[in-house]
A = this chain, B = another copy of it.
């Protein structure tokens, strides 16, 4: 099955399937029906059957899905075994939190370097990696050839750094700044994280609870 046949909306849901299937595996579950998975993931069973039909062979009428097999196939599609060399730009609290909390390896990336502009931070060790000064970026990229960059820098600094990184071979940005990278760099992959949107959704729900309860 060619990868390109998977729609964007299914791709968006794959990491979540992958996570739930991992938790099921950890709990010793070997098979699960679309009905059970539906209840767990709050999707309709028909949505799940439709999504997972793309990967064929793991669901059997009346027997459910083979949890480990389905997870492995989804992992292969996502590329969890690829180990893309990754760098973090910005070692403030956010950069440090991401270096410390995200298990890059289980998500197809390997954290190779962390950079900051502030000489007070460079030399600090974060997630077993010494923070380098941003002036070392060119040499580091020539040597280590990172392809993924995590941007934990202010909006104002992002455009210049992103231009530099694209020239240095970065082709995917995990973007925590609020600068819209994809507008300028259509040839790179960009995943924007807007934590504020998530908080606004919660605010709405909290208010609904007060108003109705």
Contact = CB atoms under 8 A, between A and B. Distances in A.
B19 A196 contact: yes
B200 A80 contact: yes
Interface in A44-78: 77-78
Nearest to A3: B208
A109 B191 contact: no
A92 interface: yes
B147 A201 contact: no
Chain A, interface size category, equals 35 or more
Nearest to A101: B94
A10 to B, nearest CB: 11
Given A174-B202, A202-B148, A207 B97 contact: no
A164 interface: no
A137 interface: no
Contacts of A100: 92-94
Given A94-B101, A109-B199, A189-B209, 16 more contacts: A3-B211, A4-B208, A4-B212, A12-B201, A15-B197, A15-B198, A79-B204, A79-B206, A84-B206, A84-B207, A92-B97, A94-B100, A148-B206, A171-B210, A172-B206, A189-B208
